[in-house]
Amino acid sequence: MKLLTGKNVLITGGSRGLGRELCLRFAEHGARVGFSYNRNIDAARKLEAELEAQGAAFHGYQCSVLDTDGTQKMVRDLEERHGPLDVLVNNAGISQNLPLALLEEEDFDRVMDTNVKGTYLTTRAVVRSMMRRKAGVILNMGSLAGVRMIEAPIHYCASKAAIVGLTEALAKELARHQIRVLCMAPGLLEDGVGRNLPEHRLKDYLHHCALGRVGTFREIAEACAFLVSDLNSYMTGATLVADGGV
């Protein structure tokens, strides 16, 4: 069953990890996919080859989520290519495994800027068109670290908690324009943020996880495809936690 046939989608941070899987699965569900990436050109080219092999309609952009002018230009170009955007997935994000004592001010700012300000800037660039059409879905990528008291870097936790608040406030503000805003909060996944966790922290997570394993990118991407689909038309302002039962 294709959940996103005919939908025009933009996914930030799309070249690697969960972002890459989101691009592939959304295309598999029938979406026309635009994605952004910051530095890893090789990973972006590999993704483009995979999307081309799927027969997908797609276009990639090298653009930081903190580049205001570049983001606006990307959105305009993508809408000229594919048509008005139906779905925005704010997936781009970073983290650092640093304790407070070693956390410099520039480290804190970098994580908060990318994860929170980048979400704001991209949403602002996309939402005006959605408001004019009174249609659209915005999915923000949160984290279990933003909704539970767990051992994780404080600046990452703070940024992901901010994403939950941003999601709720946006959902309330944009509801009159028939725009839904949601947040996905995954637990530990097969790669990505948790790949550099010390062994004792991974063991502790698995000990408290009802399913006894980390999640896969595909599991989260499929759940995201449903969240932004028309089948999920009565959900907004919600944060879906997918953590295997921690």
156 has catalytic annotation: yes
Contact 190, 215 (CB under 8 A): yes
Give the pLDDT score at 151.
87
Q: For residue 217, give the nearest of 200, 183, 193 by alpha carbon.
A: 193
Strand partners, 12: none
pLDDT band at 1 (very low <50, low <70, confident <90, very high): confident
Give the pLDDT score at 193.
62
Locate 202 and state its tokens. Answer: 């991974």
pLDDT band at 197 (very low <50, low <70, confident <90, very high): confident
CA distance 47 to 24: 8
Task: Give the global pTM.
Answer: 0.96
Strands 239-242 and 58-62: unpaired
Percent of the chain with pLDDT over 70: 98
pLDDT at residue 217 tops 80 = yes
Backbone angles phi, psi at 149, to 5 degrees: -85, 95
Pick the catalytic residue: 37, 61, 156, 205?
A: 156
Give tens-digit pLDDT for 44-69.
Answer: 999 999 999 999 999 999 999 999 99
H or E, element range at 180: strand 179-186
Give tens-digit pLDDT for 180-193.
Answer: 999 999 999 998 66
CA distance 204 to 13: 29
Give tens-digit pLDDT for 75-132.
Answer: 999 999 999 999 999 999 999 889 899 999 999 999 999 999 999 999 999 999 999 9
CATH fourth-level superfamily of 8-237: NAD(P)-binding Rossmann-like Domain (3.40.50.720)
H or E, element range at 197: none
pLDDT band at 39 (very low <50, low <70, confident <90, very high): very high
Give tens-digit pLDDT for 131-186.
Answer: 999 999 999 999 999 999 988 899 999 999 999 999 999 999 999 999 999 999 99
Positive or negative, the Cα torsion across 223, 229, 235, 238?
positive
Q: Domain residue spans in the chain?
A: 8-237
DSSP states of 98-144? --GGG--HHHHHHHHIIIIIHHHHHHHHHHHHHHHHT-EEEEEE--G
CA distance 156 to 98: 10
